[in-house]
Amino acid sequence: DTEVTQTPKHLVMGMTNKKSLKCEQHMGHRAMYWYKQKAKKPPELMFVYSYEKLSINESVPSRFSPECPNSSLLNLHLHALQPEDSALYLCASSQKEADTQYFGPGTRLTVL
């Protein structure tokens, strides 16, 4: 089983709202990732968690706040987003670094 699940599938929020994206995997993977993907573009790495610790932050604005409550869960907390933050947010996981990353279906986010 190589399934990564993400909720919600779609999210519409205003610029003053606070919302959270959720990601879950039960493959025993120790690395989890958040990517942002704009239309017709490749995914762009935002954050990497390794063994539940933040390993990489690709200079992401502080209005995006990641959290890894345990080895199976990854959250992305959103606050005071801008319309240009509208995108597909993808979660991925891998057994370890430099290993195959498996992606979830994504959350389609629209910021009004």
Partner 1 sequence: GESVGLHLPTLSVQEGDNSIINCAYSNSASDYFIWYKQESGKGPQFIIDIRSNMDKRQGQRVTVLLNKTVKHLSLQIAATQPGDSAVYFCAESRNDYKLSFGAGTTVTVRA
Q: What is the DSSP string of 22-71?
A: EEEE-S--SEEEEEEE-TTS--EEEEEEETTEEEEE-S--TTEEEEEEET
**Least CB distance from residue 2 to partner 1, whole Å?**
7
Residues 39-68 that bind partner 1 (CB under 8 A): 40-43, 45, 48, 50, 55-56
* Between 46 and 78, CB nearer to partner 1: 46
Cα separation, 80 vs 94, in Å, equals 30
Q: Applying CB under 8 A, which residues contact partner 1?
A: 2, 4, 6, 31, 33, 40-43, 45, 48, 50, 55-56, 90, 94, 97-98, 100-106, 108
